[in-house]
């Protein structure tokens, strides 16, 4: 024992924090979290079934066609919660299925590694049956013969929780042959990863699932045409799939109305706050809830400090300013402001924190996590790190900012093999736009003579 207080281990053990109690969370308004327990214990099969769980599997598989299911999702305007915001219904409508096509795979992207994102963990640790139910419905709509949950290796508790739930679901006949007497067969395999952020890119994820290096694949063909082992494959984020059961149970119009006038995107979203807010954590709120309301729920910035900037949904989204807090948080509104909703979990930056330092940290992450497949990403990101490290130390040269601007532009959408580098470019571009003076303050000297390495590259 040193100066740690008694019970340190228990005190600092990580637990997901959903800041809404059972009494606040209702089936009609909180489709993702209403079954969760205040204690944080896993909702097991008995609990889940007691709260209407799996009923929609029975009704949908026996009463609706796959096309009906897809149509409901389209009408509900459920947009991909992994961050890209693509219409889930549209994605499913593009999957090759039917006469002459082999039954393929439904893959749940549970590789949650976007900096600042901690939402899927909650759903998987505490309520794996909702995900399983969503996957069964997704498999039915896409004619998938097998599902994979691609879970990041570090999510130990989620792995245990999912594994238990899979066994319970098989025992109860929710997985396996002839589910709910419908004649539909489907099962799920839990696959745990071995690290690397790039596995979250859907085609890299498929390569990883096939036991290969997680380099992204060229598109087209899209996974829905030719994915895992050349079969039609649908990849959806955990939270996206968890929205499906309630849409089918209560209807697309009900789901659209959850967000009401706030947004044209349907439903609710797990929003959250991290960084130096008073009360970090998660809330399930309607799409289109403003950043101001969420930050208010988080009690504002710690110790009365001022907000300087915020990332709306992870490290690959553009920085926004306090004035943007009144925007509805949905894919179009945040997109129109020049950023992306991403995963919808806010990272707050306070007045005294360095934007150059934050960008250095972010670009170090993206440089390290580049898979190295295409040159702009592999070489451009370490270059940005070198410049940012110099600027942070006040050792930048004249011209460095212009090079960073060039990198932000040339690593943007369409210039690289996948979305990794554009994700790195977005926060950089926004930082250079909104906080240029902080970068300028780091320029400490005239441009050095050609060929002279003024700042060691170091290890990136």
Q: Which residues bind another protein (CB under 8 A)?
A: 1-4, 8-9, 11-14, 17, 112-118, 120-121, 152-157, 189, 191-197, 208-214, 228-229, 231, 272-276, 280-282, 311, 315, 345, 347-350, 353, 357-358, 361-362, 364-365, 369, 371
* Distance, CA of 398 to CA of 448 (rounded, Å): 9
The nearest distance, CB 21 to another protein, in angstroms, is 17
Q: How far apart are CB 450 and another protein at their closest, in Å?
A: 33
Q: How far is the CB of 443 from another protein (least distance, A)?
A: 23
- Phi (first) and psi of residue 360, to 5 degrees: -60, -45
For residues 348 and 404, which CB has a smaller minimum distance to another protein in the complex? 348
Query: Which of 144, 192 has the CB closer to another protein?
Result: 192
Q: Is 448 helix (H, G, I), strand (E, B) or coil?
A: coil
Instruction: DSSP for 289-319, please give it.
Output: -BHHHHHHHTTSBGGGPPEEEEESSSTTS--
Min CB(368)–another protein separation in Å: 8
Q: For residue 286, which of 340, 329, 241 has the smallest C-alpha distance? A: 329
**Whole-number minimum distance, CB 271 to another protein, in Å?**
12
Query: Least distance to another protein from the beta carbon of 275, Å?
Result: 5
Q: Least CB distance from residue 353 to another protein, whole Å?
A: 6
| Residue among 4 and 399 whose Cβ is closer to another protein | 4
Collapsing DSSP states into helix, strand and coil, what is residue 86?
coil
Supply the minimum distance, in Å, between the C-beta of residue 90 and another protein: 27
Smaller CB distance to another protein: residue 153 or 412? Answer: 153
Residue 304 or 451 having the CB closest to another protein:
304
Whose CA is closest to 424, among 272, 295, 316? 316
Q: Residue 375, preceding bond cis, omega within 30 degrees?
A: no
Q: In the beta sheet, which residues pair with residue 189? A: 148
Q: Is the separation of the CB atoms in 292 and 326 below 8 Å? A: yes
User: Would you say 111 or 168 has its CB closer to another protein?
Assistant: 111
State the minimum distance, in angstroms, from the CB of residue 153 to another protein.
5
Close Cβ partners of 265 (under 8 Å, ≥ 6 residues apart): 77, 79, 85, 259, 287, 288, 330, 331, 332
379 backbone dihedrals φ, ψ, rounded to 5°: -100, -30
With b meaning 16 or more CB within 10 Å and e meaning fewer, what string describes 272-281? bbbbbbeebb
| Smaller CB separation from another protein, 112 or 400 | 112
8 A C-beta contact, residue 62 and residue 181: yes
The residue among 206 and 387 lying less far from another protein, judged by its C-beta, is 206
Closer of 70 and 341 to another protein (Cβ)? 341
Nearer to another protein, 190 or 443 (CB): 190
- Which three-class secondary structure state does DSSP give residue 367? helix
Task: Provide the angle, in degrees to the nearest 10, between the axes of the packed helices 128-142 and 156-171.
Answer: 60
Provide CB contacts within 8 A for 205, sequence distance 6+. Answer: 107, 109, 111, 150, 199, 214, 235
CB of 294 to another protein, least distance (A): 13
Q: What distances in angstroms separate CA 57 from CA 236, 244, 248, one per listed residue?
A: 18, 11, 9
């Amino acid at each position: 024992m040193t100066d740690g207080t008694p019970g340190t281990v228990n005190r600092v053990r990580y637990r997901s924090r959903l800041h809404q109690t059972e009494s606040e969370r209702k089936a009609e308004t909180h489709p993702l979290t209403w079954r969760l327990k205040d204690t944080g214990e896993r909702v097991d099969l008995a609990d889940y079934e007691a709260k209407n769980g799996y009923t929609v599997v029975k009704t949908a598989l026996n009463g609706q066609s796959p096309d009906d299911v897809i149509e409901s999702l389209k009408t509900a305007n459920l947009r991909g919660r992994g961050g890209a915001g693509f219409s889930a219904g549209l994605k499913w409508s593009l999957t090759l299925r039917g006469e002459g096509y082999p039954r393929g795979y439904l893959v749940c992207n549970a590789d949650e590694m976007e900096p600042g994102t901690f939402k899927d963990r909650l759903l998987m640790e505490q309520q794996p049956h909702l995900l399983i139910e969503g996957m069964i419905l997704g498999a039915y709509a896409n004619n998938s013969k097998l599902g994979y949950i691609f879970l990041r290796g570090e999510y130990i508790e989620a792995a245990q929780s999912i594994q238990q739930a899979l066994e319970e679901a098989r025992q109860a006949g929710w997985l396996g042959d002839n589910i709910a007497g419908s004649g539909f067969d489907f099962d799920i395999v839990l696959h745990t990863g071995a690290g690397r952020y790039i596995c979250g890119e859907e085609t890299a994820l498929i390569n990883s699932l096939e036991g290969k290096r997680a380099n992204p694949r060229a598109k087209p063909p899209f996974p829905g045409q030719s994915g895992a082992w050349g079969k039609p494959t649908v990849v959806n984020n955990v939270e996206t799939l968890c929205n499906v059961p309630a849409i089918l149970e209560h209807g697309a119009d009900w789901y659209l109305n959850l967000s009401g006038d706030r947004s044209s995107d349907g439903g609710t979203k797990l929003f959250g706050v991290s960084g130096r807010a008073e009360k970090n954590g998660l809330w399930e709120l309607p799409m289109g809830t403003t950043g101001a309301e969420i930050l208010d729920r988080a009690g504002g910035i710690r110790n009365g400090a001022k907000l300087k900037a915020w990332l709306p949904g992870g490290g690959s989204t553009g920085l926004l300013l306090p004035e943007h807090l009144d925007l509805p948080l949905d894919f179009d509104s945040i997109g129109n402001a020049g950023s992306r909703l991403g995963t919808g979990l806010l990272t707050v930056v306070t007045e005294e924190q360095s934007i150059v330092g934050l960008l250095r940290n972010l670009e170090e992450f993206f440089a390290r996590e580049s898979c190295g497949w295409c040159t702009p990403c592999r070489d451009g990101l370490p270059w940005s790190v070198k410049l940012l490290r110099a600027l942070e130390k006040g050792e930048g040269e004249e011209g460095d900012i212009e090079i960073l601007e060039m990198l932000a532009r040339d690593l943007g959408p369409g210039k690289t093999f996948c979305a990794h580098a554009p994700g790195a470019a977005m926060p950089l571009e926004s930082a250079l736009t909104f906080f240029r003076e902080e970068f300028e303050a780091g320029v400490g000297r005239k441009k050095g003579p050609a060929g002279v390495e003024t700042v060691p590259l170091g290890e990136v």
